[in-house]
């Protein structure tokens, strides 16, 4: 099973809402990632977790708050987002952080009104 | 600073034509190199990768890439493309050891016409 699942597929939220994105993998990978992808652009790395610890935060605004409850799950908590945060949010996992093949989920399409 | 660059943003070619996509990185030390592909409506997936050893790497679907250290390049090639190769292709690089920087290139949209 090389699948990374993400829920929800689509999310529309207001600027005052609090919502969460969820990502799950059952490949036994110890690294998990969040990316942001705008239309016609490459994915931009946001966060990297390794062995359930936050290892990289690419200067992401605090309105994005990641959480790794266990080695299979990764959440991204959203609060007070701006319209420019509208994008496709991708989750990925790999055996080893950064230097190994990453397996990507289908993404959550987020629209902030 | 841009660590990885892809020269072609858009490529249109006919079936059976040969494809070569350029990728250059700007770092003189240890690198891990990847090509990922995103077919329309599908997840990003790995085409091939280079960590060490033989600089000519073969990947899925008939793709190959050559790591040329002296040119800081990792170009992707396919001798004869098919319509199903229409996709966005991303070069990606991990720069440095362990917790070095990871970055995708800007991507190349490839359209193969029948």
| pLDDT, mean of residues B75-80 | 97
**HSE-CB for A53 with a 13 A CA cutoff:** 2
CB atoms under 10 Å from CB of B73, counted, come to 16
d(CA A68, CA A92): 13
**Which among B34, B43, B107 has CB closest to A105?**
B43
Report the SS3 class of residue B62: helix
Phi, psi for residue B84 in degrees, rounded to 5: -70, -5
**Which among B49, B99, B104 has CB closest to A42?**
B104
Which pLDDT score, from 0 to 100, does residue B29 have?
81
Which pLDDT score, from 0 to 100, does residue B97 have?
62
Judging contacts by C-beta atoms under 8 Å, the chain B residues touching residue A51 are none
Q: In which element (H, E) is residue A62 found?
A: none
Which pLDDT score, from 0 to 100, does residue A10 have?
97
Report the SS3 class of residue B83: helix
Tell whether the model's pLDDT for residue A74 goes beyond 70: yes
CB atoms under 10 Å from CB of A1, counted, come to 7
Contact predicate B35/B91, CB 8 Å = yes
Residues B94-114 have pLDDT tens digits of 987 656 688 999 999 999 999
Contact predicate B29/B94, CB 8 Å = no
Pairs of residues, one from chain A and one from chain B, whose beta carbons lie less than 8 Å apart: 41
Contact predicate A109/A10, CB 8 Å = yes
Judging contacts by C-beta atoms under 8 Å, the chain B residues touching residue A4 are 43
Tell whether the model's pLDDT for residue B2 goes beyond 70: no
Which pLDDT score, from 0 to 100, does residue B1 have?
56
**Which among B100, B104, B106 has CB closest to A98?**
B100
Residues A35-52 have pLDDT tens digits of 999 998 999 999 999 999
Contact predicate B36/B90, CB 8 Å = yes
| pLDDT, mean of residues B43-70 | 95
Tell whether the model's pLDDT for residue B74 goes beyond 80: yes
Residues B15-39 have pLDDT tens digits of 999 999 999 998 878 889 999 999 9
Average pLDDT for chain A? 94
DSSP code for B76:
E
d(CA B95, CA B26): 9
| pLDDT, mean of residues A26-33 | 95
């Amino acid at each position: 099973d090389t699948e990374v699942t993400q829920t929800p597929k689509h999310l529309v939220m207001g600027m005052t809402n609090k919502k969460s994105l969820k990502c799950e993998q059952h490949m036994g990978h110890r690294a998990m990632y969040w990316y942001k992808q705008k239309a016609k652009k490459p994915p931009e790395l946001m966060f990297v977790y390794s062995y359930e610890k936050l290892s990289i935060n690419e200067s992401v605004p605090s309105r994005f708050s990641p959480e790794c409850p266990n080695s299979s799950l990764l959440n991204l908590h959203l609060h007070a987002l701006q319209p420019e945060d509208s994008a496709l949010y991708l989750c990925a996992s790999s055996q080893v952080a950064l230097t190994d093949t990453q397996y990507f989920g289908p993404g959550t399409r987020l629209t902030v009104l | 600073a841009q660590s990885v660059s892809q020269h072609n943003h858009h490529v249109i070619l006919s079936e059976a034509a040969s494809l070569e996509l350029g990728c250059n990185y700007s770092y003189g030390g240890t690198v891990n190199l990847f090509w990922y592909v995103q077919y329309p409506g599908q997840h990003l997936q790995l085409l091939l990768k280079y960590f060490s050893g033989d600089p000519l790497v073969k990947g899925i679907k008939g793709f190959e890439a050559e790591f040329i250290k002296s040119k800081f390049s990792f170009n992707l090639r396919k001798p004869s493309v098919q319509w199903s190769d229409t996709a966005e292709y991303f070069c990606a690089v991990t720069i440095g050891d362990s917790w070095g920087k990871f970055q995708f290139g800007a991507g190349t949209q490839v359209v193969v016409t029948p």
